[in-house]
């Protein structure tokens, strides 16, 4: 990158060619007032506050945020002319701005307030009758007070440019201009709150924060968001040990100041009211509150008993990958050395682990798992699978910035029109019914096994020309980053295969769908080690449920995970659970498994822990405890420490248990379902929700409210034929089960397809799916009516 | 004689005072008039409609040099900010009146109350209910 030199207030600075004067001034440490500028966005030049002048022409003012710096410029940022102009500009803005700082939640961090004070504006020479504008208090999470808006356009631009949502825009003209939605309806969007984060005044404010305190009473604590594998940096705004809101710091890390709905508004999941705070044990059907030492010695004793009686193979561990790396390491060490357990599975991050283990297996240590920098530097991004941005919403901002540069390609192969698919330069829609088949076919054509790429690709719904373009782009020799998006509920065997084949053609592979410390748990703590000899796809958990089904497992240790809320057919698992000798439910939350658990151990959430995690890009974050755990809660590290102490005493006591051979009794043979395709004319795909499907997001009242019940998205024409209106309550049935939900019409969804959101955590919804296939046949009828 | 002189002087004074108006006030029965700028116990004001003026902007809390004010807001039924709790710790208050100066809506003023002695310290933590008691309606500053 060529550099240029210029002078700002007589100080020489060197900046990249193409940088603006504002960037140079920042580097020189000079202050320039700005209102419409946001580093995350392309310069706009609307507020005319950032005026500077060249020394030779002091009266010719130029906007610094918008003007590129030139070699040899000699800029002054303050002279009488400039100050006069800034003051005038501020006075003009104030004509239309109510002075309601006392009741405005922005006061204290309002850019306009700061500038008015800095420039000493005391008089208001211009008078105009102020028009009352709309205040939107109906939208959830975001309040829009258009009286305070200064029309800088930052919210409009961030929503369009970074979030790609285009939810809000300027409406009306002249003095009536406001920022609004079409038809002035309440917001119905991603609720990422990016618009709040950029608004320089208090026109857009956070409803969860509104009227709770004042900004100067908050202490910002650095932390990471624990609601998905992106692990975005956040600032917890804390007052008296209580989170009041979450904001995003502008950091060097990838997500410069960007957050999604979960990260910004989902913090109530960390509050005491959402949490389990009392250790309990369940003996002879009686659940009772016990002290920590009692609960732990019970666990130690029972674990020792089961392991002596049935051998180490009979204990399974499932983690939700929210442990810090240090905790993960010590759990693994304990489980391996004391109990002989080799693998720690995960249900929440099952898809991620499946893809990763596939890669590690075929390519070993040389596999090219990438980082954020790789993604940014590549020419082509291939997203294999649907729901990338729904799993990790901040990915939207990254991909939107990625494709804004010229000559870049975003290829998305998806069985449903997700966000990335709509933004792709080469969107490839695959009929969900043949999605797995298509992937296998694609593998073969890449391996050169099938005659030629064109074979009978059309049956998958993919035009031959599109496919040819895909193949040619893959072979183009440009730098490719592959993002692999697993299905919400496993069934990604074909995807795993495709990943390991595409691995040859790409620069880096990044599996998505990770929990906050999935990558740390796998790469650092080796929760599972992929060895060639083992059965493929053994990501540690597949077998757990299967083994429970086969009766091989006698004890289950849940480290934050909950198979009852995240796997197909929970009713069947419930029956299996009641047959187990020991279930330890160690989690911050009382999720459904707690009902069946023999011991409930309330553990801490990530902001209450100290340690490190590795996000899905491979970056390590050091985290410091920002909150105190509520009384009665221990961190996972503490729990293990005490458990280990008790273990030493207990394992001696439970020495002479007669060893029992486990009799593998297949309790429930895998059902081969027979059904008539005519009965199920639709294909249903379980899709992730942008408001989060993970355990933490599900505990947040705000996210839960946004998600609502089971959401059944259908093609508008299909709905019309079936007489289903938008928001109608409908029944959906598949060969596996039936559930009730709310119908949503969509023009993007292809006819014949149904997308179902919010399945995780929904017992009825989980009955609809199968973990073996990516899409299941389904039918739909109005609730109350006949089929 | 010269020894008697001071004594007589004193008696003379006493005699003079005996016929002048007494200046002693029978305190609990009788009370002072207050000068206009008397700095007594704080009072939170109400508007003519009887609603609390304070919007819980927190400026008094911020400016208070003794940190004796704590105020917390809530959202009113109209969606606007209103005061939920206001507490003033009289054991620390120095009656400087900075809170009155900082208040952007003129919701607090120094009143005339001065009888603040109490056997229980808790009585000196004044909650909003006490501060609003007998509150005068503010003139001209409504809303
Ligand atoms: S919350 Fe996000 S998606 Fe919604 S209007 Fe704001 S920026 Fe746009
Ligand atoms: S709402 Fe805020 S960000 Fe949007 S135009 Fe108005 S002042 Fe700017
Ligand atoms: S993208 Fe993931 S890590 Fe980032 S704010 Fe959203 S949920 Fe949190
Ligand atoms: S900041 Fe440059 S014009 Fe607004």
User: Residue A620 above 60 pLDDT?
Assistant: yes
Residue B140, domain member (yes or no): no
The ligand 4 atom at the shortest distance from the C-alpha of residue A34 is: 1
- Bridge partners of A236, per DSSP, are A221, A246
pLDDT in the model for residue A535: 41
SS (H, E, C) A307-356: HHHHCHHHEEEEECCCCCHHHHHHHHHHHHHHHCCCCCECCCCHHHHHHH
The reply to whether B7 falls in a domain is no
**A11, containing H or E segment:** strand A11-16
Give residue A131's pLDDT band: very low, low, confident or very high (50, 70, 90): confident
Average pLDDT over residues A437-461: 75
CATH number of the domain at A246, please. Answer: 3.30.70.20
What local confidence, expressed as pLDDT, does residue A456 receive? 65
Quick one: A249 and A296 in the same domain? no
User: B103 CB contacts (<8 Å, ≥6 apart)?
Assistant: B54, B59, B60
User: In this structure, what token pair is assigned to residue B89?
Assistant: 């710790």
Out of B58, B80, B105, closest to residue A214 by CB: B58
Contacts of A212 in chain B (CB under 8 A): 72-73
Contact A217 B72 (CB under 8 A): no
Domain for residue B53, yes or no?
Answer: yes
B79 touches chain A (CB under 8 A): yes
User: How far does B21 lie from chain A, in Å, by closest CA?
Assistant: 52
| Distance (Å) from CA A62 to ligand 2 centroid | 23
In a domain, B81, yes or no: yes
Res A668: pLDDT: 43
Average pLDDT over residues A766-784: 86
Rounded to a whole number, what is the distance in Å from the CA of B69 to chain A's nearest CA? Answer: 13
**Residue A77 clears pLDDT 50, i.e. is over it:** yes
Give contacts of A217 with chain B, Cβ < 8 Å: 58
Ligand 1 pocket test, pick from A193, A263, A264 with the greatest ligand atom count within 8 Å of Cβ, gives A193
Closest CA to A488 of A684, A680, A322: A684
Residue with tokens 């229980």: B120
CA distance A621 to A623: 6
Helix, strand, coil fractions of chain B, as percent rounded to 5:
25, 20, 55
Whether the CA torsion A367, A372, A374, A376 is positive or negative: it is positive
B75 inside domain: yes
CA of A206 to the centre of ligand 2 (A): 14
Residue B79 lies in a domain: yes
Our separate counts of H helices and E strands in chain B read: 4, 5
Residue with tokens 């502008």: A250
**Which residue's CA lies nearest to atom 1 of ligand 4?**
A34
Q: Is residue A356 part of a domain?
A: no
What does the pLDDT read at residue A202? Answer: 95
B35 at the A interface (CB within 8 A)?
no
Same domain, A374 and A507: yes
Residues of A within an 8 Å Cβ radius of B = 101-103, 105, 107, 135, 137, 143, 210-214, 216-217
Q: Which domain holds residue B89?
A: 25-132
Domain assignment present for A290: yes
Same domain, A538 and A509: no
In a domain, A414, yes or no: yes
Q: 């310069």: which residue's tokens?
A: A43
Is A170 part of any domain?
Answer: yes
Name every residue whose Cβ is closer than 8 Å to that of residue A147 and which is 6 or more positions away in sequence. A97, A98, A130, A132, A133, A135, A203
- pLDDT per residue over B86-105, tens digit each? 999 999 999 999 999 999 99
- Domain tally for chain B? 1
Which ligand 2 atom sits nearest the alpha carbon of residue A154? 3
Q: Which residues sit opposite A359 in a β-bridge?
A: none
Q: Which long-range contacts (CB under 8 A, 24 or more apart) does B27-33 make?
A: none
B40 CB neighbour count, 10 Å cutoff? 15
- Token pair belonging to A230: 């992106």
Helix, strand or coil for residue A214? coil
Are A586 and A643 found together in one domain? yes
Query: Which pLDDT tens digit goes with each residue over A354-392?
Result: 888 888 888 887 888 989 999 999 999 999 999 999 999
- Determine the pLDDT at residue A537: 42
For residue B104, being part of any structural domain is answered with yes
The total domain count for chain A is 5
Q: How far apart are CA A685 and CA A712, in angstroms?
A: 10
Claim to verify: residue A293 and residue A403 sit in the same structural domain: no
| Separation of CA A21 and ligand 4 centre (Å) | 11
Least confident of A95-99, A231-235, A662-666: A662-666
DSSP helix/strand/coil, A739: strand
Pocket of ligand 1 (CB under 6 A): A 142, 158-159, 163, 165, 167-168, 187, 189-195
CB count within 10 Å of CB A196 equals 27
Q: CA-to-CA distance for A375 and A161, rounded, in angstroms?
A: 19
Q: Are residues A505 and A416 both part of a single domain?
A: yes
A580 in any annotated domain:
yes
Among A243, A273, A303, the domain boundary falls at: A273
- Report which of A582, A585, A576, A568 is spatially closest to residue A550, judged by C-alpha positions: A576
User: Cβ of A216 and B62 within 8 Å?
Assistant: yes
Q: Which of A157, A188, A190 to mutate to test the pocket of ligand 1 (most atoms within 8 A of CB)?
A: A190
- From the list A103, A212, A216, which residue is nearest B80 (CB)? A103
Q: Which residue has the higher pLDDT, A108 or A129?
A: A108
- Asked if A269 and A283 sit in the same domain, the reply is no
Task: Give the pLDDT score at A127.
Answer: 81
| pLDDT, average across residues A240-267 | 85
Could you tell me if residue A120 is inside a domain?
no
Distance from CA of A157 to the nearest CA of B (A): 28
ipTM above 0.85, yes or no: no
- Note down the domain range covering A725: 677-782
Q: Domain ends where: A479, A513, A547?
A: A513
pLDDT tens for A5-37 read 999 999 999 999 999 999 999 999 999 999 999
Distance (angstroms) between ligand 3 centre and the Cα of A487 equals: 19
Same domain, A77 and A140: no
The answer to whether the Cβ–Cβ distance between A210 and B75 falls below 8 Å is yes
Same domain, A422 and A441: yes
Of B74, B104, B105, the CB nearest to A211: B74
Does the residue A387 lie in any domain? yes
Q: A542-550 and A570-577 are packed helices; what angle lies between their axes, rounded to 10 degrees?
A: 60
Cα of A247 to nearest chain B Cα, Å: 21
To the nearest whole angstrom, how far is the Cα of B26 from the nearest Cα of chain A? 45
Q: What is residue A536's predicted lDDT score, i.e. its pLDDT? A: 40
Q: How many residue contacts between A and B have a Cβ separation below 8 Å?
A: 35
* Torsion sign (Cα): A98, A102, A104, A106: positive
Q: How far is the CA of A625 from the centre of ligand 3 (A)?
A: 19
Measuring CA to CA, which residue among A386, A384, A227 is closest to residue A713?
Answer: A386
Residue nearest atom 2 in ligand 1 by C-alpha distance: A192
User: What does the alpha-carbon distance between residue B93 and residue B124 come to, in Å, rounded to a whole number?
Assistant: 10
Tell me the chain A residues in contact with residue B75 when contact means C-beta distances shorter than 8 Å: 210-211
**Which of chain A's residues have a Cβ under 8 Å away from the Cβ of B104?**
101-102
Nearest residue (by CA) to ligand 2, atom 2, is A199
CATH number at residue A31: 3.10.20.740
Residue A328 scores a pLDDT above 90 = yes
If asked whether residues A648 and A536 sit together in one domain, one would say: yes
- Res. A549: pLDDT tops 90: no
Across the interface, which of B55, B62, B72 has its CB nearest the CB of A103?
A: B55
Question: Residue B80 sits in a domain of what CATH number?
Answer: 3.30.70.3270
The answer to whether residue B17 is domain-embedded is no
Minimal Cα distance from B104: which residue of A? A102
Domain end: A513, A533, A566, which one?
A513
| Separation CA A444–CA A437 (nearest Å) | 11
Asked which of A234-243, A282-291, A580-589, B50-59 is least confident by mean pLDDT, the reply is A282-291
**pLDDT reading at B50 higher than 50:** yes
Among B62, B72, B81, select the one facing A103 at the smallest CB separation: B81
- Contact yes or no for A387/A693 (Cβ under 8 A): no
Q: Does the CB of B22 have a partner CB in chain A at under 8 Å?
A: no
Whether A36 is in the pocket of ligand 4, judged by its Cβ within 6 Å, is yes
Q: Do A510 and A409 form a contact (C-beta atoms < 8 A)?
A: no
Do residue A320 and residue A430 come from a single domain?
Answer: no
Mean pLDDT of chain A: 88
Residue nearest to atom 3 of ligand 2 (CA): A199
CATH code of the domain covering residue A480: 3.40.228.10
CB of B137 within 8 Å of a chain A CB? The answer is: no
CB of B74 within 8 Å of any CB in chain A?
yes
Question: Does residue A694 share a domain with residue A572?
Answer: no
C-alpha distance from B28 to closest chain A C-alpha (Å): 41
Predicted confidence at residue A341, as pLDDT, reads 86
Q: What percent of chain A has pLDDT over 70?
A: 93
- Going by alpha carbons, the residue nearest to atom 4 of ligand 2 is A155
- Give the residue from A214, A216, A240, A242 with the most B CB atoms within 10 Å of its CB, the best one to mutate: A214
> What does pTM read for this prediction?
0.90
CB–CB of B58 and A217 under 8 A?
A: yes
* CA-closest residue to ligand 3 atom 2: A228
Q: Is B40 on the interface with A (CB under 8 A)?
A: no
- A72, part of any domain: yes
A719: CA distance to ligand 2 center in Å? 38
Using the mean position of ligand 2's atoms as its centre, give its distance from the Cα of residue A370 in Å: 37
Nearest CA to ligand 3 atom 5: A263
- Minimal C-alpha gap between B57 and chain A (Å): 5
In this structure, the residues whose C-beta lies within 6 A of any atom of ligand 3 are A 225, 227-228, 230-232, 259-260, 262-263, 392-394
What is the average pLDDT across B53-64? 95
């Amino acid at each position: 990158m060529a550099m240029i030199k210029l002078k700002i207030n007589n100080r020489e600075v060197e900046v990249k060619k193409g940088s603006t004067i504002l960037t140079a001034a920042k580097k020189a440490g000079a202050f320039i007032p700005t209102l419409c500028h946001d580093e995350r966005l392309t310069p706009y030049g609307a507020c005319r506050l950032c005026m500077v002048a060249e020394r030779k022409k002091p009266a010719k003012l130029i906007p610094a945020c918008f003007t590129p710096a030139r070699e040899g410029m000699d800029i002054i940022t303050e002279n009488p002319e400039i100050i006069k102009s800034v003051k005038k500009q501020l006075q003009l803005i104030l004509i239309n701005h109510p002075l309601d700082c006392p009741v405005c939640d922005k006061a204290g961090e309002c850019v306009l307030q700061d500038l008015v004070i800095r420039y000493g504006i005391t008089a208001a020479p211009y008078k105009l009758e102020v028009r009352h504008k709309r205040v939107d208090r109906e939208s959830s999470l975001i309040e829009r007070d258009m009286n305070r808006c200064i029309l800088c356009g930052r919210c409009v631009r961030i929503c369009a440019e970074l979030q790609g949502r285009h939810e809000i825009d300027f409406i009306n003209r002249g003095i009536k201009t406001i920022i609004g939605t079409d038809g002035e309806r309440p917001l119905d969007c991603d609720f990422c709150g990016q618009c709040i984060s950029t608004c320089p005044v208090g026109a857009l404010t956070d409803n969860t924060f509104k009227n709770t305190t004042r900004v100067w009473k908050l202490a910002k604590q650095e932390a990471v968001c624990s609601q998905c594998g992106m692990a975005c940096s956040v600032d917890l705004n804390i007052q008296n040990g209580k989170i009041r809101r979450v904001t995003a710091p502008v950091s060097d890390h990838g997500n410069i100041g960007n957050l999604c709905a979960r990260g910004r508004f989902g913090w109530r999941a960390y509050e005491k009211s959402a949490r389990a705070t009392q250790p309990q044990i369940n003996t002879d059907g009686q659940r009772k509150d016990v002290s920590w030492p009692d609960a732990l010695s019970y666990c130690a004793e029972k674990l020792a008993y089961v392991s002596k009686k049935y051998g180490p193979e009979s204990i399974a561990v499932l983690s939700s990958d929210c442990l810090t790396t240090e905790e993960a390491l010590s759990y693994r060490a304990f489980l391996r050395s004391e109990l002989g357990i080799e693998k720690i599975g995960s249900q929440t991050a099952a898809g991620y682990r499946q893809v990763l283990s596939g890669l590690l297996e075929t390519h070993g240590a040389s596999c090219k798992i990438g980082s954020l920098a790789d993604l940014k530097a590549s020419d082509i991004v291939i997203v294999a699978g649907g729901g990338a941005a729904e799993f990790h919403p901040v990915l939207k901002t990254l991909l939107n910035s990625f494709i804004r540069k010229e000559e870049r390609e975003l290829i998305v192969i998806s069985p449903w029109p997700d966000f990335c698919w709509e933004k792709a330069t080469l969107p490839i829609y695959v009929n969900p019914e043949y999605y797995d088949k298509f992937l296998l076919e694609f593998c073969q054509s890449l391996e050169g096994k099938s005659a030629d790429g064109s074979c009978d690709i059309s049956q998958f719904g993919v035009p031959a020309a599109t496919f040819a373009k895909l193949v040619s782009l893959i072979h183009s020799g440009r730098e490719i980053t592959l993002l692999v998006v697993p299905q919400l509920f496993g069934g990604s065997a074909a995807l795993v295969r495709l990943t390991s084949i595409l691995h040859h053609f790409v620069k880096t592979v990044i599996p998505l769908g990770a929990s906050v410390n999935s990558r740390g748990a796998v790469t650092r703590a080796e929760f599972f080690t992929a060895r060639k000899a083992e059965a493929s796809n053994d990501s540690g958990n597949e077998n757990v449920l299967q083994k429970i089904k086969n009766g091989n497992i006698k004890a289950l240790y849940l480290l934050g995970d909950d198979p009852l809320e995240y796997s197909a057919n929970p009713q069947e698992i419930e029956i299996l659970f009641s047959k187990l000798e020991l279930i330890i439910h160690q989690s911050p939350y009382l999720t459904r498994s707690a009902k069946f658990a023999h011991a409930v151990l309330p553990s801490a959430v990530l902001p209450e822990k100290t340690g490190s995690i590795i996000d899905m890009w491979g970056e390590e974050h050091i985290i410091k405890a920002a909150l105190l755990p509520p009384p009665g809660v221990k961190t996972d590290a503490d729990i293990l420490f005490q458990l280990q102490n008790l273990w030493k005493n207990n394992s001696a006591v439970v020495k002479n248990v007669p060893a029992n051979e486990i009799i593998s009794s297949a309790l429930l043979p895998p059902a081969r379902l027979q059904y008539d395709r005519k009965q199920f004319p639709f294909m249903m795909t379980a899709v992730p929700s942008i408001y989060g499907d993970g355990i933490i997001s599900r505990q947040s009242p705000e996210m839960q409210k946004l998600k609502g019940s089971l959401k059944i998205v259908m093609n508008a024409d299909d709905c019309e034929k079936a007489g289903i209106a938008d928001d109608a309550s409908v029944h959906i049935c598949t060969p596996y089960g039936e559930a009730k939900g709310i119908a949503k019409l969509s023009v993007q969804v292809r006819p014949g397809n149904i997308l179902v959101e919010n399945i995780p955590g929904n017992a009825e919804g989980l009955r609809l799916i199968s973990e073996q296939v990516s899409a299941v046949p389904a039918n739909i009828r109005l609730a109350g009516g006949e089929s | 004689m010269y020894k008697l002189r001071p004594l007589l002087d004193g008696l003379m004074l006493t005699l003079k005072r005996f016929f002048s108006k007494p200046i002693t006030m029978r305190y609990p029965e009788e009370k002072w008039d207050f000068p206009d700028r008397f700095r007594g116990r704080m009072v939170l004001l109400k508007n003519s409609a009887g609603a609390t003026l304070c919007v819980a902007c927190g400026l008094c809390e911020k400016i208070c040099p003794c940190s004796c004010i704590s105020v917390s807001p809530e959202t009113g039924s109209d969606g606007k900010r209103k005061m939920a709790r206001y507490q003033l710790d009289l054991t620390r208050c120095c009656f400087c009146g900075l809170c009155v100066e900082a208040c952007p809506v003129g919701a607090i003023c120094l009143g005339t109350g001065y009888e603040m002695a109490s056997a229980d310290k808790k009585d000196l933590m004044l909650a909003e209910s006490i501060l609003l008691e007998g509150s005068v309606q503010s003139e001209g500053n409504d809303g």
